Chain A
Amino acid sequence: MEWSVGDVTRRYTASVLDSEGYLSLSSLNLDGLAINPPDISISRVNQHGRLRVEIAGALHLAHVAKLGDDWWIHLDGRIHVVRMHEPGSAEDESVEGGLSAPMPGTILEVLVKQGQRVREGQTLVVMEAMKMEHRIQAPQAGEITKLHYSVGDRVEMGATLVEIGD
């Protein structure tokens, strides 16, 4: 199993050592290179996502919950997400040169046509979610090669809206 924290391209692998319910890492790799495992000992408080975490001798309490491939972790008043990946899985599933919906919502306006040349920063699509508008802008200049949605369509988060070629 591989793990990432924030940046999905940086992958960790780890070996867990279980000493009578006290878990630690015996080894840790980042992008295939061995790094020092943290000085940590983790044990279960109960079955409901509560963990005792001892970091360099200091005691912390963590709350965890898993949704999909993500472990959500509340530790020291901050919330973090650690993602599980199949070993060697693709870094990013988005379409090359594509522009995807940053959130689920509804397409309000499509401001460009297929084949049209656009400049960097030009607004291509306007979408709405939760009563607020968001503009999808061209990350670079290029030609619109494909438009996937039209006005009024509902789109899922991550759906490719527009594709831009050179």
Chain B
Amino acid sequence: MTAGPFSSAPRPFSTVLVANRGEIAVRVLQAAREAGLGSVAVYSDADAGSLHVEVADEAVHISGETLADTYLNSEAIISAALSSGADAVHPGYGFLSERSDFASAVADAGLVWIGPPAEAISTMGDKISARIQMIESGVPVIPGEELTVPDGADHLGVLAACAARVGYPLLLKASAGGGGKGMRAVQEPKMLRTEYEAASREASTAFGDGTIYVESLLTGARHIEVQILADSHGNCIHLNERDCSLQRRHQKVIEEAPSPAVDPELRQAMGAAAVKAAESVGYEGAGTVEFLLSSRGEFYFLEMNTRLQVEHPVTEMTTGIDLVLKQFEIAAGLPLGIIQADVGLSGHAIEARVYAEDASRGFLPCVGRLATWKTPQGPGIRVDSGVRQGDAVTIDFDPMLAKLIVHAPTRRAALRRLDTALSDLIALGVTTNIGFLRDAAAHQAFTTGSVTTDFLDSSDISGFSHTEVEPAVLVAVACAAQRLGLERVPSDGGMGALDEHTGHPGDPFRTLTRSFP
């Protein structure tokens, strides 16, 4: 093998296994190739034909029915790395990314872990210890309590007493949760039992740990998070904030950088607090410190995500720093190579998460086959996609299909670019939230930069304005399409379809990079 980019680094590695799937696996695998590293994917039965399998140099199949057998199976993933000759593991987000035992196991197997030290993951991953750590480090925290229940004790009784002390409305969080899973708002005491059971069940399903934490529910606040980078030489910097206030049931919908609510002075203060938080746990790698920003301008530590975030591209677009490449370099033991003063802030970036879900039916997840999937292109448009034309969308995984990210000189221009790009994103065959994303981004509350985290949950989204096409026009288009025989596409979707530019059976990547229209 020829010398790779990190062959003479303190912790050399040459081939990265990505322990994930979907768009983030694609993102990291492509970054590895770009960096001159080898890449290995892992996949379950349901993902045998998925995009991330094809972008890797090599792919290892992990058999099993459930996530616990496959993407959450650390032993199988480590043996896949060893058998394929990979010498580093990148966990992506979700799945095993915030499991300190996995980080340790990777290192114990003699592989380079592309992530923070196991101790930092475990301190920050446990919301209770993270909170104690932050209080000791002087980072402000939200009023709340941990729930310690001895074995065999009355869980609900202990919880009710704890909830009464914290006060309603409150938020139940699975200590090991994230991404809105295992997190439930409780407005009044009589809902406590139902929400507690739902939260612990969701957390057990998604993370294999059911511990609960109770905290006061701040209303009218914004979700602001700060990206940090820390190396193994004691350098730690922040890459400004992202505003993720547009959320639905604690799931981020649209994220942006910079925040319309943060001025340079507040940015400096929050950035300094984030760096302090990271340094207090000896952090290394890319991480995110999440804060709630109250309407009075006070900020409170929410949690630290010890991994790459879904919304990392908005930071990349506005700072010009490739976060995945930085993760590789830091894992290899190289110094950051930049100082705080080098971090710029250029223009405005917005990310919209494209989900297979039906906004008109309570955001129910939708399944089907993507008969058409055409993504927009142009200056300042980036699409991080885990799917391609012809793919089946199933119930087996999270319904996020792709992320659409736009970058423009100003927020106003970025909003226009987002709306145009969403209009040009053509997903036929599976119901998606694309129309809802356009409506939400065009809502006055968002265009004026004034949404808080409770905005979507307290709004009647059916009232979001959009222009209706006359049904008669649609009937005419359907009649014409039927008459013209346009339904005669191959039943196996994209894989067997002829590419309209080349006339050859489709290269699945072509549909992702083809110019539009």
Contact = CB atoms under 8 A, between A and B. Distances in A.
B398 A131 contact: yes
Contacts of A131: 181, 202, 205-206, 398
A74 B428 contact: yes
Contacts of B395: 103-105, 129-130
Given A38-B472, A130-B395, A133-B201, A75 B479 contact: no
Interface in A46-62: 46-51, 53, 55, 61-62
Interface stretch (A77-85, A87-95, A112-120): A77-85
Given A63-B374, A67-B429, A129-B395, A80 B365 contact: no
A37 B476 contact: yes
A53 B472 contact: no
A80 B429 CA distance: 10
Contacts of B484: 23, 44, 51
A67 B369 contact: yes
Interface in B295-338: none
B398 A79 contact: no
Interface stretch (B17-25, B285-293, B463-471): B463-471
Contact of B477 (A12, A46, A62, A128): A62
Contacts of A76: 423, 467, 469
A107 to B, nearest CB: 13
Nearest to A66: B487
Contacts of A55: 473
Contacts, number: 176
B41 interface: no
Nearest to B427: A79
B476 A77 contact: no
Contact of B205 (A35, A62, A128): A128
B218 interface: no
Interface residues of A, number: 62
Nearest to B500: A48
B158 interface: no
A76 B469 CA distance: 9
A146 interface: no
SS class of chain B's interface: helix, strand, loop or mixed?
Answer: mixed
B216 interface: no
A64 interface: yes
B480 A132 contact: no
B504 interface: no
Q: How large is the interface on B (under 10, 10 to 19, 20 to 34, 35 or more residues)?
A: 35 or more
B424 A38 contact: no
A157 interface: yes
B448 to A, nearest CB: 22
B15 interface: no
Contacts of B368: 67
Contact of A78 (B364, B372, B469, B487): B469
Q: Which of A25, A37, A62, A130 gathers most chain B CB within 10 Å?
A: A130
B55 interface: no
Interface string A14-32: 1010100001110010000
Contacts of A5: 471, 474-475
A71 interface: yes
Given A67-B371, A75-B477, A79-B432, 19 more contacts: A37-B472, A38-B473, A38-B476, A42-B477, A49-B481, A53-B473, A63-B372, A63-B374, A65-B372, A75-B474, A78-B423, A78-B466, A79-B435, A102-B362, A104-B367, A130-B395, A130-B399, A131-B398, A132-B181
16 contacts: A16-B480, A16-B483, A23-B483, A42-B477, A49-B428, A51-B480, A64-B478, A64-B481, A65-B489, A74-B426, A79-B434, A129-B365, A130-B365, A130-B398, A132-B202, A157-B367
